[in-house]
């Protein structure tokens, strides 16, 4: 089990996985994309998207079905959280499916109060898109 940072040669593979999951594609321009491996094979993917100097979004966490149950999502999210902390952006958002809320809370994410908290407009737009796009409910979290 390991983590590698994606390069341009990985973009097609990444976006094939994101297409299967129904996620927005990656282009690496303003993203750090991490690939988790298992027994030397690509097993999952996740990313940090740089919105601006103060705002990041962690998302696109997807483990291929054949590799689920090996705690790869934990390794991947831990790595992305470490990268986010190194970036030192004051706001790191995540928009997980509701059933994954407790999983993300383990890494320090907390539910955002949409009425009280100031939230970047790009994040609000993405959150609203997710609410409309997916059959499952999503949450808005901040690290």
Query: Residue 116: pLDDT band by 50, 70, 90 thresholds?
Result: confident
Q: Are residues 81 and 107 in contact, defined by beta-carbon separation less than 8 angstroms?
A: yes
SS3 88: coil
CATH fold group of domain 2-142? Aminopeptidase (3.40.630)
Distance separating alpha carbons of residues 14 and 24, to the nearest angstrom: 11
| Backbone region of residue 60 per phi and psi (left: phi > 0; alpha: psi in -120 to 50; beta: other values) | left
Model's pTM, two decimal places? Answer: 0.92
Enter the DSSP assignment of 23: P
CB count in 10 Å sphere of residue 122: 14
Give residue limits of the domains in the chain. Answer: 2-142
What per-residue confidence (pLDDT) applies to 72?
97
Residues 27-54, mean pLDDT to the nearest whole number: 96
Span 53-99, pLDDT tens digits: 999 999 999 999 999 999 999 999 999 999 999 998 999 999 999 99
Distance separating alpha carbons of residues 117 and 131, to the nearest angstrom: 19
């Amino acid at each position: 089990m390991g983590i590698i940072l994606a390069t341009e040669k990985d973009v097609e593979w990444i976006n094939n996985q994101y297409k299967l999951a129904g996620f927005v594609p990656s282009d690496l321009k303003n993203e750090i994309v991490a690939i988790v491996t298992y027994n030397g094979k690509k097993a999952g993917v996740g990313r940090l998207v740089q919105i601006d100097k103060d705002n990041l979004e962690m998302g696109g966490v997807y483990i291929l079905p054949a590799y689920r149950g090996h705690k790869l999502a934990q390794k991947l999210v831990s790595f992305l959280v470490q990268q986010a902390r190194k970036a030192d952006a004051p706001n790191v958002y995540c928009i997980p499916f509701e059933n994954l809320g407790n999983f993300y809370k383990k890494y320090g994410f907390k539910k955002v109060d949409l009425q009280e908290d100031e939230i970047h407009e790009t994040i609000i737009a993405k959150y609203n898109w997710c609410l409309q796009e997916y059959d499952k409910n999503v949450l808005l979290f901040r690290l």
